[in-house]
Amino acid sequence: MAASLWRYATGSTTNPVDYSGVEFWSNPERTGWLTKQGEYIKTWRRRWFVLKQGKLFWFKESTITRASIPRGVIPVATCLTVKGAEDILHKPYAFELSTRADTMYFIADSDKEKEDWINSIGRSIVLHSRSVTDSEIIDYDNGK
């Protein structure tokens, strides 16, 4: 768990195990272009994001198929908050996604897009952090 969210999310630890069983190319919960800030080199890059089954993926292209390889993936169950960040970044339509250790920043194309992403990611955090807790309890009970 000591791995940084950024290292996890920027793809340096992304491998098929991180998203096995998630058909990100089919019926995603939300998709769209967002601009995200890099961790080490603080440049802004436009990426196509896909939210599905508690994972937030991003790609260079918006055409996603079974053969597409994500540039990064964030397990939203590890995230604590998602909220507007316009006052922090001094940029319109900005929002942040935070864990205990890290914060990632994004910029949407409009206020509606920003609010839609915050709402979708927020719902996913609540849904998947509960399921993580439930599965841990079940695992502990099965181990007795």
pLDDT tens digits, residue range 87-143? Answer: 999 999 999 999 888 899 999 999 999 999 999 999 999 998 765 544 444 444 334
pLDDT at 118: 97
Q: Are 103 and 89 in contact (CB under 8 A)?
A: no
Residue 94 has, within 13 A of its CA and on its CB side, a CA count of 15
pLDDT one-digit tens code per residue, 5-53: 545 454 444 555 567 788 999 999 999 999 998 777 789 999 999 999 9
Q: What are the boundaries of each domain within the chain?
A: 5-142
* pLDDT at res. 38: 78
If residue 12 lies in a helix (H) or strand (E), which one and from where to where?
none
Q: What is the pLDDT of residue 1?
A: 34
Which architecture characterizes domain 5-142 according to CATH? Roll (2.30)
